[in-house]
Amino acid sequence: MSLKQQITEDMKTAMRAKDTARLSAIRLLLAAMKQREVDERIELSDADVVAIIEKMNKQRRDSIGQYEAAGRQDLADVEKFEISVLATYMPQQLSEAEISKAVIRFERERMGRGPADIRTRIIQDMVIVRMRDFLTPAERALIEAGGGVDLLRQVRMKLLENERGMLSRMLREATGCEVASMFSDLSVRTGERLIVFVMDGNLESLLT
């Protein structure tokens, strides 16, 4: 069953159950899907539907902030409920452990070596990745030769920035949120590296 068919069946189920709130959210999604099909004269694939949901989620996250700032928690709660309904049609979202695995794979493919230990934490709108023992043999040799710490930091930062698109796409697929900003630093003394992704939505509220 395609995603479009599943959403249509869920609409029928909500109608039979007289679940007006869920029915309203699903109808809004189906209307957006129909508009896209009419505008572009296409039959939507599952990927197309997911893209529509991501856009709708972003619109609702923006609205939540505006409503809460205006003291309209009732309207913010409606938006949050609609996000929860839309989330059921998104690909299974990555856990913290799975994000860690994806970052390890990225490090091995792009940096030449994965960390010996990695921990990922989701805190509000942040994804924090902490790695230990991440240096390649060549990097260790450079440091032991003296004077290579600043160069190592610059090279690592440049490589990370060059691959920002890939990392942003990975996190967007995992969370449904866009990367608003990214920070990274490393310590040769402790052998640790930290990457902080700031997202455009509160992940704790969206992923629970």
The CATH number of residue 64's host domain is 1.10.1510.10
Q: Into how many domains does the chain fold?
A: 2
Q: Per-residue pLDDT for 164 more than 80?
A: yes
Q: What pLDDT is stored for residue 68 in this prediction?
A: 92
- Percentage of the chain modeled with pLDDT above 70: 94
Residue burial 133-159, b: 16+ Cβ < 10 Å; e: rest: ebbeeebeebeeeeebeeebbeebeee
pLDDT digit string (tens) for 172-203? 777 767 888 988 888 877 888 889 999 887 77
pTM: 0.54
Q: Which domain holds residue 106?
A: 96-207
**Count of residues making up the chain:** 208
Where does the pLDDT of residue 11 fall: very low under 50, low under 70, confident under 90, or very high at 90 and above? very high
Least confident of 12-26, 65-79, 145-159: 145-159
Least confident of 77-86, 88-97, 113-122: 88-97
| 59 in the same domain as 22 | yes
| 122 in the same domain as 26 | no
| 17 in the same domain as 82 | yes
| 199 in the same domain as 115 | yes
The structure tokens listed for 171 are 């996190």
Place of tokens 């900003």: 181
pLDDT digit string (tens) for 46-87? 888 988 998 999 999 999 999 999 999 999 999 999 998 998
What is the spatial distance between Cα 73 and Cα 57, in angstroms, rounded to a whole number?
18
**What letter represents residue 158's amino acid?**
K
pLDDT digit string (tens) for 20-51? 999 999 999 999 999 999 999 999 988 889 88
| 104 in the same domain as 36 | no
Domain boundary among 87, 112, 145: 87
The structure tokens listed for 63 are 């609205």
| 60 in the same domain as 29 | yes
| 109 in the same domain as 17 | no
